Chains A and B, each alone.
Chain A
Amino acid sequence: MPAGGADSLKPSAFIPVCTAACLLVGSTSLFFVFTCPWLAVTICPAVPPCCAILFLFVLANFTMATFMDAGVLPMANEDEDKDDEFRAPLYKNVDVKGVQVRMKWCASCHFYRPPRCSHCSVCDHCVEDFDHHCPWVNNCIGRRNYRYFFLFLLSLTAHMICVLTFGLIYVLHHMDELSKLHCTVTLVVISVSGLFLIPVLGLTGFHLYLVSRGRTTNEQVTGKFQGGVNPFTRGCCNNLEYLVCSPVSPKYTARPIKKTVIHVQPPFLRPEIDGKTPVRVRDNGIHSEEKVRMNQMKTPPPLPPKPNHGLLRSQLYSIVTSNSTEAMYSTEYICRPHLPDLRLEPKESPLKGGLPAQAPLQASSTSSSMQLNSLTLNSRSLALKHSSRHGSKSQLPAVHADTLGSNSLLGIISSPSLLASHSSSNSSLSYDTLINPGDPQFLTQRGAPSVSYHPHFMTLGTDGSMMQRPPPHAYSPVFMGVTRQSPQPRDPSPSFLRDNFSKTIMASIHERREMEERERTLRLQARSQGLYGPDLAIYDIPSRRSLPPDNIRLSGSRGPTPPAYGSREFLMSTGILGYGMRTSPLSSSSTSSLTRGPKTSSSPLQNSSSSSLNRLLSEMQLCGGATYQLITVSVFNLHAAPSSFRWWYDVSGAACSSR
C-alpha cells in the first residue's frame, strides 16, 4: 500500500464501488425474489437458472475487476537508476514494430515506463498496459484485469437487458395489479436497470470499439494513435482472441521471494581474451591499443604551470555539465576501451548500468548517435571547407577531406560526446567545440585544462602508435577562450605535429583564430562608430554570414591584441554561461533534450563574473554582423539549467546546427 499517496484508499473512493455493488446485488435479488417465480411458471422454468448463472458471471467478473492487480509495476530500486535526475532525458524513444514510441520517465517509480504503461495518479503506481482507473470498481484496469473488466461489462449489459425484458413482460402481464407489492418492486427494478442500461451499453460499445482497434482507453482519450499507425494492434479478430484467450499475466508485486544460496568463491573466471591487448580497428583503419591507452591514462600529461589551473579545470567541468561529479568522469570516458563501441554501435547500446562514465549517456544513446552521424557529415563538410580555405597552409594534408579526416573527427567526436556525457546534445557539444576552435571565443587558452582531451590525441594517432601527450597549449575544445596573443601566426607545438589529425585540426584552428582575431579587432574599432546595431539577441550573435569573404577582407589587418580577457572571462565569453542565464525558446530542440528532473545546480562562474560576461556580450552584440557564426551546442535543456549554453555555427549552407 503506498504510504499516503493512493487516493484509492480514501473512504470517499469506496462510495462509487459500494453504490454499484449495492445496486447490482440489490436489484437482482429483488428480481429473483419477486419476478422470477412467475417467470418460471409462466414462461419457462429455465429462465431463473439462466439468469442466475448470468448474474454469477457478472459478480465473478466484477470481483476480479475490483480485486485483481492490474499489472502494477513495482518501483525501481535505486541501483537501477544510476542517472542523476538532472541529466537524463525525460523521454526515451523505442522502436515498436517500426513505429517510434516514446517512453516517458516516471518520476514516482524511477524507471522509463514501458510502452502502453502509464502511471495512475489515483493509485500512485505504474500499471502495465494501462487502460483507465475505474471508480465503479475502485481499481486500475490494466493488462491483467482488462479481460475481466470487459467481460464484466458484457455480462452486465446482458444481465441488465435480461432483467429489463423479463421485468417488462411481468409488468405487462400484471397491468391491473400495479399497486401490488410484486408489481411495484418489479417496476422499481426495471426502472433502475433501464436507467443504468444506457451508460453501461455505451461503455460496452466503446470498449468493443477499443478492442477492435487494439487501443486502450488511455490511448484513445489522449489521441495517441489517432492519425498514425497503432503498432500494438493485431487485427480485430486477433485482438479479441488475445483479450479472451491469452494467458493471465503474472503479478509483479508482492511475490513470494525464494531465497537461494549460491556459493561464490574467487578467483573468478575471465573470458579467453584476458591478458591480450585487443586491438580495435576503427572504421578509419586506425588501430588503437586499449591497454596502452589505459597506461597513458595513468600518467596524465603534465600541464604547463598556470596560476588558476585548478579553477580552469573546474570551469571546464562546470561548463560541460551542470553537475560537477559527472565531469570527473570525463577523463575516464576518454580512455575507456569501450569508446569505439559506443561509436560503432551507436543505436542500441544499453549503457545503463555498467559504465558509470557512460551512465549519463544511456538515455539518449540512440538519439545522440543519430545526431552524431548527422554531425559527422557536417563535420566532414566543415573539414572540407577548412581545408579549402586554408589550402595554402601545408599543414593541412589533402587527406583532411577524405575518410581519414572525417573518421578521425568521428573518433574525436565520439569521445567528446562521452566527455560531455550528456543527452543527445552531447554529440553536438563535442562536435561543435571541436569544429569551432576558429571562433574567437573558442580560441585556446594556453595550457587550458585540456587534460580531458589529451587522450584523444593520444589515441588517434594515425599510425596507431601511442602519441606523446599533447602540447602544453593543446586545445580543450570545450574550454576555449581568447588568448592574449596578438593575431600572428603561431607555430604549433612540435609534439602536436606528430599527430596527423591533431595537426590538421590545429592548423585550421590557428588559421581560424587568427582571422577571427583580426575581424574582432576590426569590429571593435568599428563599434564606436555605431556601425552595428545592438538589436541582436544574445543568441543571434553573430549573424550568419559565410566565412570566406570576410576572412579574405581582413587578412591584412593586424590590429592590436584583443583585450586581455582572463581565462574565466573567456570561459563565459564563449557564451556558455551567458546563454544559460536566459532560458531560450530554442533550447529544447528535441524531446530527448528534456531532462527528467529539475536542475538546481548553477555554475559558480556565472554568478561571479557576470559583469565581465555582460561586457563581452554587449561587445559582441554591438559587433553585430560577424564573419563567423556560433556553433549550436545544446548540452541539455535550458529550461532549468543555468550552465547550459548555445553556440551557433552555420558554415554557409552546411547547416550543422544541432537545434
Chain B
Amino acid sequence: VRPRSASLVTKVFIQRDYSEGTVCRFQTKFPPELDSRIERALLDQTVKTLNSYYVEAEKIGGQSYLEGCLACATAYIIFLCMETRYEKVLRKISSYIQEQNEKIYAPRGLLLTDPIERGMRVVSFTHLLPLSLSVQG
C-alpha cells in the first residue's frame, strides 16, 4: 500500500474553542491541511463570522428574557408555535454557510458543513477531490 494514497483524506475539522467556557466558539487557527487550498484570510473571516453569529444567538439580553417570560406564561406552549431566537440565528447561519460554499469554497474544491449537524463540536471541510500531496507547494 502506498502511504500516499492511503493517507488521502477528505475531511478537515476545525475544533471548538473552549477557552471562553462552554459558549459556542470555533478555533480560528488555520488548519495546515488547507494551506494550499484556500487563503487564510478567507477562512479566518468565515470562522469569525460564524463565531459572531453564535455569540448573537447565545446572548443573554432583553430578547432572551422576554422569550423566557413568554414561554413561562404560556406554559411553554409557545414553543410549539414559535421558533426560538437560537433557531432563527441557526437558520441565518445555514444560509450564510451555503452562500460561502457557493461563492468561496466550492470554487476551491472544499465544502463547509454546518456545525450543528455534528452537535456543534466541529466545523468540517470536505475536500471534493483527494488531497494530493505531490502538488503541495
Which residues of A are at the interface with B, using a C-beta cutoff of 8 A? 56-57, 59-60, 63-64, 73-74, 76-77, 79-80, 82, 94-97, 101, 111, 114-116, 128-129, 143, 148, 151, 231-232, 241-242, 244-250, 252, 255, 257-258, 260, 262-264, 266, 268-278, 290-291, 294, 298, 325, 328-329, 331-332, 336-338, 341-342, 345, 348-357, 359
In the bound complex, do residue B18 and residue A350 qualify as a contact, i.e. CB atoms below 8 Å apart? Answer: no
How many A-B pairs fall under 8 Å by CB? 196
In the bound complex, do residue A332 and residue B13 qualify as a contact, i.e. CB atoms below 8 Å apart? Answer: no
Q: How far is the CA of A167 from the CA of B18 in the complex (A)?
A: 51
Q: Which B residues lie within 8 Å of A274 (CB)?
A: 36, 137
Q: A59-B75, A116-B22, A257-B117 are in contact. List 12 more A-B contacts (CB 8 A).
A: A82-B9, A245-B60, A268-B129, A272-B39, A277-B137, A331-B3, A338-B33, A338-B35, A350-B14, A352-B13, A354-B31, A356-B9
In the bound complex, do residue A96 and residue B19 qualify as a contact, i.e. CB atoms below 8 Å apart? Answer: yes
Query: Which residue of chain A is the closest to B74 with respect to CB atoms?
Result: A60
Q: How far is the CA of A354 from the CA of B38 in the complex (A)?
A: 14
Q: How far is the CA of A101 from the CA of B32 in the complex (A)?
A: 25
Which B14-35 residues sit within 8 Å CB-CB of chain A? 14-16, 18-22, 27, 29, 31-35
In the bound complex, do residue A268 and residue B111 qualify as a contact, i.e. CB atoms below 8 Å apart? Answer: no
Least distance between B126 CB and chain A CB atoms (Å): 9
Q: How far is the CA of A472 from the CA of B87 in the complex (A)?
A: 64
In the bound complex, do residue A290 and residue B137 qualify as a contact, i.e. CB atoms below 8 Å apart? Answer: yes
Least distance between B39 CB and chain A CB atoms (Å): 5
Q: How far is the CA of A176 from the CA of B9 in the complex (A)?
A: 84
Q: How far is the CA of A348 from the CA of B29 in the complex (A)?
A: 8
Q: How far is the CA of A351 from the CA of B31 in the complex (A)?
A: 7
Q: How far is the CA of A257 from the CA of B118 in the complex (A)?
A: 12
In the bound complex, do residue B137 and residue A262 qualify as a contact, i.e. CB atoms below 8 Å apart? Answer: no
**Known contacts A73-B119, A271-B38: does B13 contact A353 (CB below 8 Å)?**
yes
**Known contacts A111-B121, A328-B6: does B32 contact A341 (CB below 8 Å)?**
yes
In the bound complex, do residue A269 and residue B58 qualify as a contact, i.e. CB atoms below 8 Å apart? Answer: no
Least distance between B2 CB and chain A CB atoms (Å): 8
In the bound complex, do residue B14 and residue A245 qualify as a contact, i.e. CB atoms below 8 Å apart? Answer: no
Which residues of B are at the interface with A, using a C-beta cutoff of 8 A? 1, 3-4, 6-16, 18-22, 27, 29, 31-39, 57-60, 64-65, 67-68, 72, 75-76, 79, 84-87, 90, 94, 98, 101-102, 106-109, 111, 116-122, 124, 128-129, 131, 133-134, 136-137
Q: Which B residues lie within 8 Å of A357 (CB)?
A: 3, 7
**Known contacts A242-B60, A245-B65: does B36 contact A329 (CB below 8 Å)?**
no
**Known contacts A73-B121, A332-B7, A357-B7: does B85 contact A247 (CB below 8 Å)?**
yes
Q: Which A residues lie within 8 Å of B137 (CB)?
A: 273-278, 290-291, 337
**Known contacts A270-B37, A273-B137, A338-B35: does B3 contact A332 (CB below 8 Å)?**
yes
In the bound complex, do residue B101 and residue A262 qualify as a contact, i.e. CB atoms below 8 Å apart? Answer: yes
In the bound complex, do residue B9 and residue A263 qualify as a contact, i.e. CB atoms below 8 Å apart? Answer: no
In the bound complex, do residue B121 and residue A350 qualify as a contact, i.e. CB atoms below 8 Å apart? Answer: no
**Known contacts A56-B75, A247-B60, A348-B27: does B8 contact A356 (CB below 8 Å)?**
yes
Pick from A114, A268, A350: contact of B108, CB under 8 Å: A268
29 of the cross-chain contacts (CB-CB < 8 Å) are A57-B72, A73-B119, A73-B121, A80-B13, A94-B18, A95-B18, A111-B121, A114-B18, A151-B72, A247-B59, A248-B79, A248-B84, A248-B86, A250-B116, A258-B94, A263-B106, A264-B128, A266-B129, A269-B107, A270-B37, A271-B35, A273-B137, A332-B133, A348-B27, A353-B13, A353-B124, A354-B11, A354-B32, A354-B131
In the bound complex, do residue B11 and residue A80 qualify as a contact, i.e. CB atoms below 8 Å apart? Answer: yes
**Known contacts A111-B121, A255-B117, A258-B94: does B108 contact A325 (CB below 8 Å)?**
no
In the bound complex, do residue B64 and residue A246 qualify as a contact, i.e. CB atoms below 8 Å apart? Answer: yes
Q: Which B residues lie within 8 Å of A60 (CB)?
A: 75-76
In the bound complex, do residue A355 and residue B65 qualify as a contact, i.e. CB atoms below 8 Å apart? Answer: no
Query: Which residue of chain B is the closest to A117 with respect to CB atoms?
Result: B22
**Among the interface residues A80, A245, A255, A337, which one has the most CB atoms of the partner chain B within 10 A?**
A245
Q: Which B residues lie within 8 Å of A257 (CB)?
A: 117
Least distance between A368 CB and chain B CB atoms (Å): 16
Least distance between A354 CB and chain B CB atoms (Å): 2
Pick from A97, A242, A252, A328: contact of B119, CB under 8 Å: A252
In the bound complex, do residue B116 and residue A241 qualify as a contact, i.e. CB atoms below 8 Å apart? Answer: no
**Known contacts A244-B68, A275-B137, A354-B34: does B86 contact A249 (CB below 8 Å)?**
yes
Q: How far is the CA of A244 from the CA of B101 in the complex (A)?
A: 37
Q: How far is the CA of A241 from the CA of B64 in the complex (A)?
A: 11
Query: Which residue of chain B is the closest to A77 with respect to CB atoms?
Result: B118
Q: How far is the CA of A252 from the CA of B84 in the complex (A)?
A: 14
Q: Which B residues lie within 8 Å of A63 (CB)?
A: 76
Q: How far is the CA of A59 from the CA of B39 in the complex (A)?
A: 54
Query: Which residue of chain A is the closest to B62 with respect to CB atoms?
Result: A245
Q: How far is the CA of A60 from the CA of B79 in the complex (A)?
A: 12
In the bound complex, do residue B60 and residue A246 qualify as a contact, i.e. CB atoms below 8 Å apart? Answer: yes
**Known contacts A111-B121, A329-B3, A332-B4: does B65 contact A350 (CB below 8 Å)?**
no
In the bound complex, do residue A356 and residue B34 qualify as a contact, i.e. CB atoms below 8 Å apart? Answer: no
Q: How far is the CA of A159 from the CA of B109 in the complex (A)?
A: 60
4 tightest A-B CB contacts, nearest first? A354-B33, A356-B7, A268-B109, A60-B75
In the bound complex, do residue A95 and residue B19 qualify as a contact, i.e. CB atoms below 8 Å apart? Answer: yes
Q: How far is the CA of A232 from the CA of B23 in the complex (A)?
A: 10
Q: How far is the CA of A538 from the CA of B128 in the complex (A)?
A: 52
Q: How far is the CA of A353 from the CA of B27 in the complex (A)?
A: 14
Q: Which A residues lie within 8 Å of B128 (CB)?
A: 264, 268
